[in-house]
Amino acid sequence: MSGLGGLNKAKNGVVLGLVQLQLPGVATKAGLAAQAARICELVGKARRNLPTMDLVVFPEYSLHGLSMDTSAEIMCTLDGPEVAAFREACRENRIWGCFSIMEANPAGNPYNSGLVIDDTGAIKLYYRKLHPWVPVEPWEPGNLGVPVCEGPNGSKLALIICHDGMFPEMAREAAYKGAEIILRAAGYTAPIRHAWRISNQANAFGNLAYTASVCMCGSDGTFDSMGEGMFCNFDGTVLVEGGGRADEIITCELRPDLVREARSGWGVENNLYQLYHRGYVAVQGGAQDCPYTYMHDMAAGRYRLPWKVEVTDGTSCGFAPPTRAYAGPQRNPVMEVEAPVALKKVA
């Protein structure tokens, strides 16, 4: 069900809006400030557009555009003016928001990060993209895992970013940690259209979760993003799908209580449970081993493919070969502290 896009909100419903944001071109600090202001305007539009809306989701690259520019001048920080503006916009409009930033990293390349901010302006989820779209993207690989937070009306939210959604393990990790709604913010262009659709559906069905996914939209004079926001039901069917109109907000009501009911009550295709309880009809409790070689090899640090891979760095896209090793995971500086980052009033 979609509740007519949220017009008829159910008691247990969560209404989301996906913003097919016009693809910007941002090259300067002034341009960054102007685009942040534009995003805040659209937070207000979302609230006016549908009074029942709980959460408005912006695509990846909505603040920076697709230039892959890593200039320090246009990188963001959690305590910087852009994030402060987003937090104030959510507080002022009494709506949750999901935002994309390219985050400064003093130790290396910037992170491609995402934030979920609640309707009081508090940061509830902070995530760094685990799987940059190599070899095209120069971003540092994420090191905060796949966090899950409590969302509006008691829902459980996770955020994955663009290429993350092509890895079944990403959505599975989010669902395993309790996510009922998996947000996917993206900047994809038209060649990815088919893979976008089927991966959003597969991520939903394979994990009995809703997926809510949106791309940038329109052209910046060089690149053409496709928009095509879509909501998928936990059975894999498409509930609502947008087209290619820039700045359109695609809306849908989701029912996390029905996800919980399916995860608890389904027998057939309850794959989250059955992954670790194989063949429970034949053997008591099902087989509870790990039969997957790649999982063992990853955990042991010996992951090797049985074929040659030719592209293993970013030189084909104009990036110099890296000279640093991955430093490993780190503690999430927002989600594991008792007090949220202080909200600063934006002038």
Q: What share of the chain is helix, strand, coil (3-state, %, to 5)?
A: 30, 25, 50
Q: Where are the alpha helices (DSSP H) in 144-268?
A: 168-176, 193-207, 256-265
Residue 165, CA distances (Å) to 30, 62, 225, 298, 341 in order: 32, 18, 17, 19, 28
According to DSSP, the β-strands at 210-215 and 230-232 are antiparallel
Distance CA 269, CA 257 (A): 18
Among this protein's residues, is 60 annotated catalytic?
A: yes
Can you tell me whether residue 26 is helix, strand or coil?
coil
Distance CA 255, CA 76 (A): 34
Q: Which entry of 90, 162, 217, 252 is annotated as an active-site residue?
A: 162
Are the CB atoms for 185 and 230 separated by under 8 Å? Answer: no
The count of other CB atoms within 10 Å of the CB of residue 174 is 27
Q: Which entry of 40, 90, 98, 129 is annotated as an active-site residue?
A: 129
Residue 332, CA distances (Å) to 48, 148, 220, 335 in order: 34, 12, 34, 6
Can you tell me whether residue 277 is helix, strand or coil?
coil
The count of other CB atoms within 10 Å of the CB of residue 94 is 10
HSE of 69, CA atoms in CB hemisphere, 13 A: 19
The count of other CB atoms within 10 Å of the CB of residue 342 is 10
Among this protein's residues, is 103 annotated catalytic?
A: no
Q: Which entry of 40, 60, 76, 248 is annotated as an active-site residue?
A: 60
- Which residues are catalytically annotated? 60, 129, 162
